[in-house]
Amino acid sequence: MSSDTGGYHGDVKQATISLDDLITAVETARDKVMADEVRSLVKFGIPKAMAQQMVGARFRQKVGGEEGEGGETETPAWPDMS
């Protein structure tokens, strides 16, 4: 960690990324995690539609093509478990 190496990190060239690219990367990662969770729930015997609703509620999203430009959906404090 000598001072002639360019500081603590040395002469590391930092890559720049646009905000849109960052948001796209985060959304892609979230979608992959959600798909993996749905797949796991289906393996446990839960119907795919129900698994998608469960995962969608967990990520506070609308499921089944209902996603719009409204942002987060409001989830009830006590979801109906019947």
Domain ranges of the chain: 16-58
pLDDT in tens, 28-79: 999 999 999 999 999 999 999 999 999 988 887 555 554 444 444 455 555 5
pLDDT at res. 79: 59
Residues in Cβ contact with 48 at an 8 Å cutoff, skipping those fewer than 6 apart: 38, 42
Helices and strands in the chain: count of H runs, count of E runs: 2, 0
Q: Which residue has the higher pLDDT, 6 or 46?
A: 46
The model's confidence at residue 12, banded by pLDDT at 50, 70 and 90, is: confident
